[in-house]
């Protein structure tokens, strides 16, 4: 039997409104910098709670901030609500049924809703205790490839924040290890000369050939990169649809990642040289445009231990027998490797009978391989930051998949979402109640910056790539 906690009760009191928000955001997901309806839903909730609202943060129309309280430290709760292309999926169905263009295939409908729920619960608790302090909710768009938080950090929106808290939906529960890849996205556009591909091919200079040669060069580079570096690519413009025309223009996006931000520039320069070489070989020209960039996550052991203590006291989400059949149906669509990977990452032996996570992963339970990238990384360099993983889906569910989208409205997802709000709210409460804890977290952060200062990876001339609104 868990010990009772007044703040848990406050969170539970908001359950209905915020599970409704999660489902509402799920119904109208949008991709990077087009999250107008999702942002409007979060803004509407902020207005209903009496927050002091700031809009268009860093010039981004889908970023919003709400604040409550006065005096004292400023504790930020970070929320997200963007989606992914091609992952629209009928919710509650354990087979692939595409539904629309976009979908919350990384659970950000839950992420933003739980973050705002935690912020409102902290507001209520501060008012009840009549304590000084400010709770600030950041509604952050474009985490999936858009690096909105990097722009927000660069604009100084975290300069007066004392600490930041966030979470991410997952298939297990534990403190989010500070282990991510710094990255930059660069669009390489090659310009050549069109010609009749059969009648006068010698007069053409193929931009598509240049892209192909660049990709060959990058593939050969892989042997000579650090093991934890990554380079991925996608064709944005493959030169048109007519094979009888020598393509005069083609664009490839290269996503370049390294374990540490300090190593990123060196790898980027090597990729740039490959592009220049491809242009030289094809007698084309190339222009490179940085689209986004994020830093690696900077950990804070003081905050991680504080969050772990709250997780241990709270336990795992309270899944029940009614949640099992759908989770088992999802599991039937996954491979044994998917399931084994979750147990590997949690440092536990594989348990094929366990469908929903019923444990909390201890700190340092297992060595973690570098995963993806997140713009929370730049916030973590600006202020002491901590995040949680909280189980919201069947064990083995991969991110960026229809299986995760399908579970986004399930009762198990709602339970995990409310659980995450409790973890974040109690961790924030610790920082308000225990000045020495916050001071220790800030001292650890300052000591790291003294050794390795933060340098924003986003070039100053790059602005948020906000598309024209339809």
* Predicted local confidence at residue 438, as pLDDT: 98
Backbone phi, then psi, for 130, in 5-degree steps? 55, 45
Residue 341 has pLDDT above 80, yes or no: yes
* Predicted local confidence at residue 279, as pLDDT: 98
Residue 87 vs residues 148, 176, 237, 402: alpha-carbon distances, Å = 21, 25, 22, 6
Residue 468 has pLDDT above 60, yes or no: yes
Q: What is the largest CA-CA distance in the chain?
A: 82
Per the CB < 8 A criterion, the answer to whether 147 and 450 are in contact is: no
Do 6-180+297-451 and 182-293 come out as alike in CATH topology? no
**What is d(CA 257, CA 255) in angstroms, rounded to the nearest whole number?**
7
Residue 231 has pLDDT above 90, yes or no: yes
Q: Above pLDDT 90, what percent of the chain?
A: 94
In this prediction the pTM is 0.94
Partners of 252 in beta bridges: 188, 235
Question: Could you tell me the pLDDT band of residue 4, with boundaries at 50, 70 and 90?
Answer: confident
Residue 186 has pLDDT above 60, yes or no: yes
Tokens linked to 321: 């027998």
| Domain ranges within the chain, ordered by starting residue | 6-180+297-451, 182-293
**What is d(CA 469, CA 463) in angstroms, rounded to the nearest whole number?**
17
List Cβ neighbours of 410 (8 Å cut-off, separation of 6 or more): 91, 92, 323, 326, 393
- What is the 3-state secondary structure of the chain? CCCCCHHHHHHHHCHHHHHHHHHHHHHCCCCCCCCHHHHHHHHHHHHHCCCEEEECHHHCCCCEEEEEEECCCEEEEEEECCCEECCCECCCCCCCCECCCEECCCCHHHHHHHHHHHHHHHHHHHHHHCCCEEEEEEEECCCCCCCHHHHHHHCCCCCCCCEEEEEEEECCEEECCCCCCEEEEEEEEEECECCECCCCHHHCECHHHHHHHHHHHHHHHHHHCCCCCEEEEEEEECCCCCCCECCCEEEEEEEEEECCHHHHHHHHHHHHHHHHHHHHHHCCEEEEEEEEEECCCCCCHHHHHHHHHHHHHHCCCCCCHHHHHHHHHHHCCCCHHHHHHHHHHHCCCCCCCCCCCCCEECCCCCCCCCCCCCCHHHHHHHCCEEEEEEECCCCCCCCCCHHHHHCCCCHHHHHHHHHHHHHHHHHHHHHHHCHHHHHHHHHHHHHHHHHCCCCCCCCCCCCCCCCCCC
Per the CB < 8 A criterion, the answer to whether 32 and 40 are in contact is: no
Question: Could you tell me the pLDDT band of residue 360, with boundaries at 50, 70 and 90?
Answer: very high
* Predicted local confidence at residue 1, as pLDDT: 41
Q: Which of 170, 177, 108 lies closest to 143, judged by CA?
A: 108
**What is d(CA 187, CA 437) in angstroms, rounded to the nearest whole number?**
44
Any idea which fold 6-180+297-451 has? Aminopeptidase (3.40.630)
Any idea which fold 182-293 has? Alpha-Beta Plaits (3.30.70)
Mean pLDDT in residue range 225-230: 92
Mean pLDDT in residue range 151-170: 98
* Predicted local confidence at residue 366, as pLDDT: 65
Mean pLDDT in residue range 12-16: 96
Tokens linked to 228: 């934890």
* Predicted local confidence at residue 372, as pLDDT: 87
400: left (phi over 0), alpha (psi -120 to 50) or beta: left
* Predicted local confidence at residue 369, as pLDDT: 58
Quick: pLDDT tens for 401-450.
999 999 999 999 999 999 999 999 999 999 999 999 999 999 999 999 99
Residue 153 has pLDDT above 70, yes or no: yes
């Amino acid at each position: 039997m868990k010990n009772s906690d007044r703040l848990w009760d406050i969170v539970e009191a908001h359950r209905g409104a915020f599970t409704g928000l999660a489902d509402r955001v799920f119904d109208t997901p949008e991709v990077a910098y087009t999250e107008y309806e999702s942002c409007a839903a979060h803004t509407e909730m902020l207005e209903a709670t009496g927050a002091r609202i700031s809009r268009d943060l860093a010039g981004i129309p889908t970023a919003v901030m709400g604040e409550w309280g006065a005096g004292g430290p400023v504790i930020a709760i970070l929320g997200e609500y963007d989606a992914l292309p091609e992952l629209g999926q009928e919710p509650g169905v354990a087979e692939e049924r595409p539904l629309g263009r976009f979908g919350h295939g990384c659970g950000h409908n839950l992420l933003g809703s739980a973050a705002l729920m935690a912020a409102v619960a902290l507001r209520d608790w501060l008012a009840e205790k009549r304590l000084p302090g400010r709770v600030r909710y950041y509604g952050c768009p474009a985490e999936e490839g858009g690096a909105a938080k990097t722009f927000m950090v660069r604009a100084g929106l975290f300069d007066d924040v004392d600490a930041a808290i966030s979470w991410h939906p997952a298939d297990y529960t534990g403190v989010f290890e500070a282990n991510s890849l710094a990255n930059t996205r660069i669009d390489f556009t090659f310009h050549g000369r069109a010609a009749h591909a059969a009648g006068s091919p010698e007069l053409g200079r193929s931009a598509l050939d240049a892209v192909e040669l660049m990709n060959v060069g990058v593939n050969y580079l892989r042997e000579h990169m650090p093991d934890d570096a990554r380079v991925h690519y996608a064709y944005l413009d493959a030169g048109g649809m007519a094979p009888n025309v020598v393509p005069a223009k083609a664009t490839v996006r290269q996503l370049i990642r390294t374990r540490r931000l300090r190593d990123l520039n060196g790898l980027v320069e090597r990729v740039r040289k490959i592009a220049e070489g491809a242009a030289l070989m094809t007698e084309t020209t190339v222009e490179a445009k940085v689209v986004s960039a994020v830093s690696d996550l900077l950990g804070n052991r003081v905050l991680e231990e504080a969050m772990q203590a709250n997780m241990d006291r709270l336990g795992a989400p309270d899944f029940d027998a009614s949640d099992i059949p759908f989770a088992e149906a999802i599991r039937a669509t996954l491979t044994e490797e998917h399931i084994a990977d979750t147990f590997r990452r949690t440092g536990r032996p594989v348990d094929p009978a366990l469908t929903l996570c019923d444990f909390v992963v201890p700190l340092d339970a297992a060595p973690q391989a570098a995963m993806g990238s997140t713009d929370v990384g730049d916030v973590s360099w600006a202020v002491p930051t901590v995040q949680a993983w909280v189980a919201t889906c069947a064990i083995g569910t991969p991110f960026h998949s229809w299986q995760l989208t399908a579970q986004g409205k399930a009762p198990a997802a709602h339970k995990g979402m409310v659980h995450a709000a409790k973890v974040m709210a109690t961790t924030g409460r610790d920082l308000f109640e225990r000045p020495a804890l916050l001071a220790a977290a800030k001292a650890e952060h300052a000591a790291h910056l003294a050794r390795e200062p933060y340098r924003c990876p986003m070039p100053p001339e790059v602005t948020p790539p906000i598309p024209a609104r339809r």
